[in-house]
Amino acid sequence: MSFYIGREASKLWKRICSEVTTEINLLAENWKYLLAGLVFQYVHGLAARGVHYLHRPGPILQDVGFVLLPELGKEKAYISETLFTIIFLSFVLWTFHPFILKSRKIYTVLIWCRVLAFLVASQFLRIITFYSTQLPGPNYHCREGSKLATLPRPDNALEVLLLNFPRGVVYGCGDLIFSSHMIFTLVFVRTYHKYGTRRWIQQLGWLLAVVQSLLIVASRKHYTVDVVVAWYTVNLVVFFVDKKFPELPDRSSAVATLLPVSTKDKDGRTKEENHKLLNGNSGDPADWRQRTQVNGKIVENGNTLHADSAMNGA
């Protein structure tokens, strides 16, 4: 029993080491894209912090979602955040599953390059919309009478740049159209729908996205329009941005098809192709036929040309 456990542990360790090596090679090639995506997450937080200074509380706008869905109340508002946290953490863990599980289909670095590209494009549009018009926030801390509804003038730039994390992120106001929670939720669900292998999880993901939408409105974090706009905007962004990327390689194919060929391999391949060309073989595998040379003439399949035969008196 102990021998079996030790053998399986050894296999798992080798798998992890192999996966780490592959992902490090990919990270060396794509770190700029990942860094740019992460930096923009800070820029997005900075923009949301900035619009909070512009927010002015007022009467809550008429909203069909507020009429149809009962208000959860301040005490139960955590339900929406709890579901979002579950979706977020589940997706993050799934992107790292190739390090442990045998049934690998994705590369972690490449998946996050795509995900961050979807997030950046969606968040860029979001920044434009919520700076265009500031609506009175429906959230409890954004209503009239709340001290957090409008931020006092900052004493220094550092106060703005540090975002007052995490309190400033949780208790933000003014960044309404469209919902940031739905951006992350829809990007994650669409990504798993395309690259995930469990059909029931794909269906569950879409169900949770719908439930998340209802909870956001019921907890009065956003107006219904914020959620509706997120649904069609994010899906369109992912659809068009995804077309700009080459298709993600399947893990069933060899790693060599994804990773760049080393200089040594390139030189060896070039010499081999030149050798074939000098011997009368083309680089096309379909044209690699046996050829010989007779009296300086290239002959296919060992049959000499009639012109050579006549010149030699045969």
Enclosing H/E stretch for 294? strand 291-294
3-state helix, strand, coil in the chain (%, to 5): 65, 5, 30
Q: In Å, how far are 69, 224, 240, 246, 281 from 243, measured between CA atoms?
A: 37, 29, 5, 8, 38
DSSP 3-state of 150: coil
Angle at alpha carbon of residue 241, lines to 254 and 29, rounded to 5°: 45
Which residues on neighbouring strands pair with residue 293, listed in sequence order? 298
Q: In Å, how far are 13, 28, 187 from 231, measured between CA atoms?
A: 42, 34, 10
226 is catalytic: yes
55 is catalytic: no
Q: For residues 142 and 162, what is the distance between their CA atoms, to the nearest angstrom?
A: 21
DSSP 3-state of 143: coil
**105-125 burial, b for 16+ CB within 10 Å, e for fewer?**
bbbbbbbbbbbbbbbbbbbeb
Is the distance from CB of 86 to CB of 185 less than 8 angstroms? no
Nearest to 110 by CA among 214, 209, 25: 25
Strands 291-294 and 297-300: antiparallel
Active-site residue (options: 44, 52, 55, 222): 222
Q: In Å, how far are 148, 151, 206 from 56, measured between CA atoms?
A: 11, 10, 35
Residue 21, token pair as written in the block: 């090596």
193 is catalytic: no
Active-site residue (options: 193, 226, 242, 308): 226
Active-site residue (options: 181, 265, 287, 308): 181
Nearest to 183 by CA among 117, 233, 130: 233
**Residues with catalytic roles:** 181, 222, 226
